[in-house]
Each structure stands twice: as C-alpha cells, then as structure tokens.
Structure 1
Amino acid sequence: MNQLEIRKLTMKFGGVTAIDGIDLSVAEGEIRGLIGPNGAGKTTLFNACSGRYPITSGEIIFGGERVHGLKPHEICRKGLVRTFQHVTLFKGFSVLKNVMVGNHLHANHSYWGSLLRTPRTRRSEAESARRAREILEFVGLGNILDREAAGLPHGHQKALGIAIALAAQPKLLLLDEPCAGMNNDESREMIDLVRRIRDTGITVMLIEHDMKVVMGLCDRITVLSFGTCIAEGTPAEVRENPEVREAYLGSQANVA
C-alpha cells in the first residue's frame, strides 16, 4: 500500500523550474532513499511535501488525502513530519524540554488551562514528560535528559532532532541528511536508529549524500537530476543504472 503519492509535481520559482513533473510513490513501511547532485530538487521536494512551499501544479496525497495547500502544522498533525539538515533546537532548554515541545501538536490542554495550571493541564504535561523520556531512551539519549541542548555534540544534536520529530507522532518521517557531518561510529548508530524507527511501523524517506549509508539502508532509491526523476529501484538496480552513474555516482558507482 502506498502511503505517499506524488503526482506530476512541479515547483517553479520565477523562471526556474526546480521540480519538473515528478511522479513518486512511497510504500507504507519502507525506507526510501532520495539522492541526486546538489540542485537536483531533493530538499525542494521535502519542502513541498511538508507544506513549506506552495506547489505550482500536481498533487501530493498522503494517507489517501490531498495535503498540498495545507499549512505545515496541519500536515504534521496528519503524520507527515520532517527533520532538517541543520538541526534547530531550543538551545537554552534541556534535552527533555526540547522533546516536550515536540509534543505540543497533540497536547491535551488549552491556552487558558496552561495559564491557570488546571489539573487537566498538569496531567497533560506529566504525560508529555513521560512520552518524551520514552522517546529519548529510544534514540539513545535517555541518560542526558537534563543536559542543556546547546552543549551537545553533533551526533547527539542530530539524534535529539529526530526525537523531537518522533514526539510529533509521525506516520511517515522525512529525514534530511541524517548522517551529515558524522564520523563512522555516529553514522552506524544513526543507521541503526533509522532501522529501529522503521521497525516501529513508521515509514522513512531520507535524503543522504553518503552512498554507503544509502545503499546499505534503503529498500528502494529514487534518483533526481535537474528536477526530474531519472531512476528508481533497489540499491542494486540503481547502482548498475548507467544514467545514474553518469549523472551522480561517478567514481562511487561501485560502492558495495
């Protein structure tokens, strides 16, 4: 069953066509890789799916519903959640408080309840803290709940960004370069985390430039070049595609 359907999607910015009539389907429960050279349209596609940019034409269907035209928080509430290459954290907050902020879309209290500190609000906040602790244990940060986010090393900041996204209760998680800037050990931990996320029932679609990560992690890969889809298939099929070799992989084409 396809969870995300992108049909004839076109994105134009002035006289520049960033995405030109792309068709793409993501099946429920898979890890889909999205690769291509800089300027291929990968991040623009994520921005379109998450509602950050209005689309020029086409359709974006998520869970059987049209989501193009909705505001980002409305799309997020439906379960289509994204992260960013450069993690944005509340750096003056603790690790735990950062993830509690990610719970706000599903908070069970009102503005006035928060202001007056009603019993319902206090129960909701206690539940939010409990869920945040569970998520942080899941991503491997359960032992640093009270640390300030600003002082975290790069790998922990990346994991915290994913924890915040998980707090929004995604059905499909869009990961923008989750392994960017990581050393080999951190990349292996991130690969393991992405697999565990998928094993909980969350579909994952990721942009990544590290071909070892992409080829070893993804079930299927979509390749973009100059705003169009030039190939799609399993890692083995994409690796052997001559058009992909020419457009993107180059000397990395034989990566195992």
Structure 2
Amino acid sequence: MLLWLLLLILGVSPKAFLLLKPPWSTHFQKDRVTLTCRDFHFPAQGDISWYYNGMSLNKESEEIRIEKTGYYKCKTRRSSLSEPVYVEFSTDWLILQAPYPVFEGDKEVALRCRGREEASITEKTFYKDELKISSTSPFILNPVPRDNGKYHCTAKKRDWIIPSKETSKPLTIQLQELFSPPVLTVSPSQPTEGSAVTLKCETWLSPQRSDIQLQFCFFREDKAVGSGWSSDPELKFPIMWSENSGSYWCQAETATHSVRKRSLRSQIRVQSEYL
C-alpha cells in the first residue's frame, strides 16, 4: 500500500508542496515571481488555500504571483499544509540567490551572486560564516551541506569616480526533507504461531524527487533479517513462531547511501494458538 493511501486511511493527509518560479528564494523588488501549489495529484485537485506569514490569503488559484517578503504555505482539499518557503524581495544593490527547493542528498547546489546592475560589477566573492570559500561565480556547493551555515557574497561596483565594494545580506539554504522517516507496519498486528506475517517499511518520497531510488532493510533487535538491503519495502515471513517475537524496526536509504533514516521500534509478540 502506498504511504499516501495509508495516511488517508489513518485520517492524515500528505503534505502539499510549493514550486517557485524563477526557482530562487531571494529576488530584487519588482522581479516577477510566482508560486504554484501542488499535491500528490498533478495538477492539484480540490480547493486551494494560501497563507502568508500564517495569515490566510484571499486566493484560490493553483498559481499566484507574489511581491512581498515572508513565509508562504498552501494546502489543497486532499493535502495538509505544505512546508513554508521563505521568499525575500530585496531593495539592496547586491543579493545572493540559492535555488528552491534543495533536498537532503542533492549532489550539488549553485549559489548566484547578482547585482541590480549586473554589467557594472566585478570580482564576486562567496563566504560561509564570514570565511571566504570561492571567487568563482556561480559557486557550486558539492555536496550540499546539512548545517545551518550562513552564506553571503561581495562584489566590486565599477564607478569612474569612487569604485565601491557591496555586500549581500546573509542567506541560509532552505533544505527540504527528501523522504519521511519510515513507519514499520505489521500485518496481522497480533500474529499467532504458525501464521504468515508481512512487515512493511512505509515512507513518503517527495513527488519532486520521484526518480530517486530507495532501498530498505529490516531488523530484529539489532540484527538484520531477511536478505538485507533490498528495493522491496516488504518482508514476508511464511511462518512465525513464539521465538520470533521481539523488537523489530526498519531503515530506508537512497541507493547512493546519501540519506538514511530509521523507523521507531515495534514490539511483535507472536501469540500461541492455544491461548
């Protein structure tokens, strides 16, 4: 069963998600910027609600144009609230731009230093936490860091009288969750001796990274069971006995091993058929 269907059965809706166009979280004022609300259906189905800094917006269309700095969210009739995206509209002369979205495990991300009068600037330099990291523009971060480091850039502004050095505001990369922590489900939930049992390692992979391949592994106590890592999120036991009782859990990871997450432990007690 797909996790989104399981969530609906449990009364929990998968999250909507936002598409930003152009795909940068920082813009100059008067830049044309749009947000699109999507859910696990393409396009989004049902009524669409928009929120700005926690307040409801009087907008219901799938795509809206935005012009104000702040946090934006959306939801559809079939989804819960999206994660917020912070979009800044700057009046500064120099800005640092990071793409949105950036996900856990992305191999690289390009940072762009942009001037209001791009043709009049030279010598762009990038910094992380006040330390110089590159003078190449755009600057490619590889791999994508998981910390909350602050980035900024500087550039020299050509001026026939007094050349000046401009500095951008600091920026933090908005890292998105690639897939949710897995949930281990057991069927039947109260197995009896001699019965078959199926374990499922359920997770929700972002639709924006649907091409990512995941693999799964199941554990009893701290020892792997079954055939080890596999692309199959299910593990079937043809027969379970009381000695197979114990604490079970699972892990999910990308095929490249860049992101790994584990479920909570589930206590499985195999009941005697004579009880």
TM-score (norm 2): 0.27
Q: Which structure has the highest helix share of the two?
A: 1
TM-score, normalized by length of structure 1?
A: 0.29
Larger RCO, structure (CA 8 Å, separation 6 or more):
1
Return the index of the structure with the highest Cα Rg.
2
